[in-house]
Amino acid sequence: MIDNSIIATVLVHLFTALLQLTFWRKTVTHRVLSIAGSAIGLGFAFNLFIKVFNGRILTMNAGNWEAPFGIVFAADLLSSTFVLLTAIAALAVSLFSAAGVGRARMLYGFFPIFHFLIMGLNGAFLTGDIFNLYVWFEVVIISSFVLLTLGGRKTQLEGAVKYMAMNILASTFFLTGIGILYGITGSLNMADLSLKIRLVENQSIVNLTALFFLIGFGIKSALFPLYFWLPSSYHTPPSAVAAVFGGLLTKVGIYALLRVFTLIFVPN
């Protein structure tokens, strides 16, 4: 079922971040806008969850390009649940950050970057295109790297370097897997891939592609034994940032694993 309101949970955080940028160095305004944007985002997320709770799947074709040629956004019970949990966490962090984050960090753009991060997370949960998933992952990585380095302490910079290095490695595996997947199927739409991947004669290359995705998402979600970067990074930022990292960032990797290995790389 087509429903253009799917993208609302992404746009609300985009507009909140852009509006905050127009009030640069106005920390009180940033706090108010952050709480208001997060509350509105929670309302949109709850509304989306209600719409798909009965098992419906909602879709939206970006730019009115029909699938599988255009970028598709899709919402089902799994993705809408993650979006709702993200919205709840975002509102909680916004309320805490209004008093718990120092003014110096706010002046360097804590709140706009935070909302860009939430926007990227929601985009990753709702995309129906595997390459668009990669794009949203990069939005998340860039935003989280900035949040990780705000303050500029030595321990933060050391943790940020390890965090960025491992995420670049993960993105390399992810992007390589996407390239192979497109080469053997000619499609990037996840629903279309779930059909075409079964028709590939050389299943060995399919298994190799699945390994690239497993390593890429495994690093991002800190799965054993690919978790060694996490203890060196997550303890360095402020409590509000650590809450977002611990509660949301690795979970988007888990979501990607669930989505890809239950939809595309399904054992015959």
Query: For residue 51, what pLDDT is reported?
Result: 92
Band of residue 234 on the pLDDT scale cut at 50, 70, 90: low
CB 92 within 8 A of CB 29: no
Q: In the numeric block, which tokens belong to residue 132?
A: 């668009």
**For residue 79, which amino acid is it?**
S
Query: For residue 137, what pLDDT is reported?
Result: 93
Question: Mapping DSSP to helix (H, G, I), strand (E, B) and coil, where does residue 60 land?
Answer: strand
- Report the C-alpha gap between 179 and 2 in whole angstroms: 29
Return mean pLDDT, the chain: 88
Percent of the chain with pLDDT over 90: 53
Query: For residue 120, what pLDDT is reported?
Result: 95
- Report the C-alpha gap between 155 and 66 in whole angstroms: 48
This prediction's pTM: 0.92
Taking only the tens place, the pLDDT of each residue in 147-178 is 888 766 776 777 778 788 888 889 999 999 99
CB 209 within 8 A of CB 173: no
Taking only the tens place, the pLDDT of each residue in 164-223 is 888 888 999 999 999 999 999 989 999 899 999 988 888 899 999 999 999 999 888 887
